[in-house]
Structure 1
């Protein structure tokens, strides 16, 4: 039983649409269709067949009476009199013809309750071989009865033989259902609109963009979710603001101390020891800036349409300034909605890392209208596959001796800052093997 339930749930997950709006439409439309089908079946099975049975029985009794009257008084004159009586009193067009075989049965519709009911009821009344045609004529039902010495041909109006106005019921039922469905769709759109607004606000906030203001409206549960989101967003923004304010004070105090060190060193006579101390102070200053930048982030910057090819050309010139051969290739739309300074810093960290350890780098950008992907390849030593994810951990140095080379200023935060910026845009950064033989860094962000 449990496996059957799981299989049914799995089947529903495969066939059901993923969106809330189409799922809600199915929830509304499916019961209506099932109800309409049940009502139509009951109508056809009960009312429609009952009315048809009664009408067919009446026609069969009229035909049986005419046959008995003909048998009681044979002759052509009596047949003409019966034809006139049938036409004037019974609304039947009757013709007594010379004996001949009954025509072959014409193909009937696959679902023909009328034919089955007519044939059954008239046969029960007449008790003779008969042939019925409900297909050939538009306004009449043709009935032929084999009398042995003659063939009786009867044309009866369709409304006289079976219920022919049932289409009015189906039209009314379909029209009422259509009106109800239109009202339901309008109401459903109104109920889903606040959910879509909340989703757009959450998506914008998750991408690091200014979430659009939206009114808290809709059902009680939707309003509660919207209020919770607004409270969460405000708490996050307050926490980021408090952290930035605190770090601004800390950085000011530390910069004051470093400035004092520089002044004291400047007052000393030049010597190898003083030069070494100056390098240490500069190293401490760079590390301090990296730490503060990592913790502070760039959440306060607003997203704007940014010229990606121009940004990549600037990064290329910077790499070439350090003696590295660089190339840039772009595909798709030239602009993307990103935070310009933050995104430049994200790419700059990757380019600087490649420049430090490689002699050749290649920068490729692809923008398909929905997401922006920037690939930075180099021919350096690369990073082992098992350590590529570890490289994003803050303060981690994969090569201590290389990281501490003079002038590198490595603090173990470059890749951590890069991933932090990419994720604040709603994207991510991954490391792969490069076709150039070194490392490939891939930045993907929605744009």
Structure 2
């Protein structure tokens, strides 16, 4: 028997374009099962879509809103600084400015005469607020400043040097300078996608399951096993395919039954004729011609027994779990009684679902034929993958 590997068939170089290489890449790296491939078809677009949406949102919306909020806070601080410089340096003026910042601008302003900026605070590694707000204060205020976004939870502490001995301390909510609730959008987006994905997987599983059952049933039918619990399920196309497989199996079974009945009838008729031949030869003298006729009749009887064994093997015998090692040990014992030299190599755990009588007759025929033409008969039995291999 010759096997052709289509997957590894060589393709002319002129046909090996980009599309061909892409298909080869998918064949090598995609899973073989239908269900995993279907999951990839569903999950991959959702993941890519979520990644693009998150990138666009982070790049455009979140970054732009945070920039505008930081710019607004920096402008208000710049306005307060310029207003302070135009006012007389009195306590009443400072109190009025602090009250205006609180009531009109919602900024907690504290004017500290005779104070200076504290040492630089530790900069956070990844803080969009610190980066944006520092950039806008530097651009809109244009004064030495100190910024702390980590010290007080939920607030931003900003200090600006005004003149030589005056410091503005501004405390405001982070939400005024930073789009802090944007993560809610991402959580809703990811959460809803997970829910929809779970529903899609459940639905997909119900659609794939009948196809998997059909594949298992077709494989069992091909190996001669019956699947009594198999019924067409799923989509209309899958049910049509299942009914076609069942119909094909029934037609093959009817064909086998008709062939078996025909061979049984022919063999029975021939056995009757051979029995009459043997009775007639028994009444004749033992001459050379009679001996040759008896030999021919015996050979025809052996051939007929072979046909009958074949009929019995393909008949109603069902495959059952059988200890093949015990069967082969019995065959070995019989051969040794007949004086044949044998060597059996049996692997451990030789239990398989087979038609025991048919397999026994098959191995007996092979071993007997080998014994007629060889001084030593070697039988090797082992599992190769999911298949039982017996070499004689």
TM-score range, shorter chain: 0.7 to 0.9
2:18 matched residue in structure 1: 4
Aligned to 2:336: 320
Deviation at 1:183, TM superposition (A): 0.7
Partner residue, 2:258: 242
Match of 2:154 in 1: 139
Among 101, 105, 120, which residue is 1:103 paired with?
A: 120
Report how far residue 122 of structure 1 moved. Answer: 4.0
Partner of 1:393: none
- In structure 2, relative to structure 1, the CA distance for the partners of 1:135 and 1:364 (3 Å cut) is farther
Query: Taking structure 1 as reference, are residues 279 and 148 closer, same or farther at Cα in structure 2, changes over 3 Å only?
Result: farther
1:374 maps to 390
- 1:184 to partner: Cα distance: 0.7
1:277 alignment partner in structure 2? 293
1:14 is matched with 28
Partner of 1:59: 73
Q: Once the 2 structures are TM-superposed, how far is the Cα of residue 42 of structure 1 from its aligned partner?
A: 2.9
Corresponding position: 1:171 with 2:211: no
Question: Equivalents in 1 of 2:364, 2:162: separation in Å?
Answer: 104
Q: How far, CA to CA, are the matches of 2:343 and 2:159 in structure 1? A: 92
What residue is the counterpart of 1:48 in the other structure? 62
Question: Helix, strand or coil for the counterpart of 1:289?
Answer: helix
TM-superposition CA deviations, 1:59-96 (whole Å, max 9, x none): 12221122112212364735565445545654434455
Query: Map of 1:20-39 to 2, 5 A cutoff?
Result: 20-39=34-53
Where in structure 2 are there 5+ consecutive unaligned residues? 1-14
Deviation at 1:207, TM superposition (A): 1.3
Contact map agreement 1:57 1:121 (CA 8 A) in 2: yes
Unpaired segments of 5 or more residues in structure 1? Answer: 376-440, 442-447
TM-score, normalized by length of structure 1?
A: 0.74
Query: Counterpart of 2:17 in 1: which secondary structure?
Result: helix
Q: Secondary structure at the match of 2:347?
A: strand
Q: What is the number of residues matched between the two proteins? A: 374
CA positional deviation for 1:304: 0.8
2:362 maps to 1:349: no
Alpha-carbon contact 2:109-2:171 (below 8 Å) kept: yes
Q: 1:58 to 1:363 in 2, by over 3 A?
A: same
Tell me how far apart the structure 2 counterparts of residues 43 and 341 of structure 1 sit (CA, whole Å): 71
Are the counterparts in 2 of residues 48 and 163 from structure 1 also a CA contact under 8 Å? yes
* TM-score normalised by the chain length of structure 2: 0.84
Q: Write the mapping of 1:30-429 to structure 2, written as runs, cut at 5 A.
A: 30-73=44-87, 75=89, 77=91, 78-79=93-94, 82-83=97-98, 85-87=100-102, 90-95=105-110, 98-100=115-117, 103=120, 106-109=123-126, 113-130=128-145, 132-134=147-149, 137-147=152-162, 149=164, 150-291=166-307, 293=309, 298=314, 300-367=316-383, 370-375=386-391
C-alpha distance 286-54 of structure 1, shift in aligned 2 (>3 A)? same
Maintained 8 Å contact 1:243/1:296: no
CA distance in 1 between counterparts of 2:150 and 2:251 reads 76
Equivalent residue, structure 1, for 2:12: none
CA distance in 1, matches of 2:99, 2:225: 90
Please state how far the C-alpha of 1:56 moved relative to its aligned partner: 1.9
What is the SS of the residue equivalent to 2:226?
A: coil
Query: Which residue does 1:422 correspond to in 2?
Result: none
Q: In structure 2, do the counterparts of structure 1 residues 242 and 131 end up closer, same or farther at CA, with 3 Å as the change threshold?
A: farther
CA distance in 2, matches of 1:87, 1:50: 26
Change (3 A) 1:155 1:13: farther
Q: Is the 8 A contact 1:25 1:185 kept in 2?
A: yes
352-361 or 246-255, larger mean C-alpha shift: 352-361
Residue pair 2:129, 2:177 contacting (<8 A) in 1 also? no
2: CA distance, partners of 1:238 / 1:93 = 94
Query: Offset of 1:329 from its aligned partner?
Result: 4.5
For residues 176 and 94 of structure 1, the distance between their equivalents in structure 2, rounded to whole angstroms, comes to 43
d(CA) in 2 for partners of 1:362, 1:148: 106
Aligned match of 1:407: none
Counterpart-to-counterpart distance in 1, 2:149 and 2:213: 59
The structural deviation recorded for 1:290 is: 2.9
Instruction: Decide whether the 8 Å contact of 1:322 with 1:355 is kept in 2.
Output: no
| CA distance in 2: counterparts of 1:130 and 1:224, whole angstroms | 78
What are the superposed Cα offsets for residues 323-343 of structure 1, whole Å, 9 maximum, x if unpaired?
123344543325321111112
Q: 1:140 to 1:350 in 2, by over 3 A?
A: farther
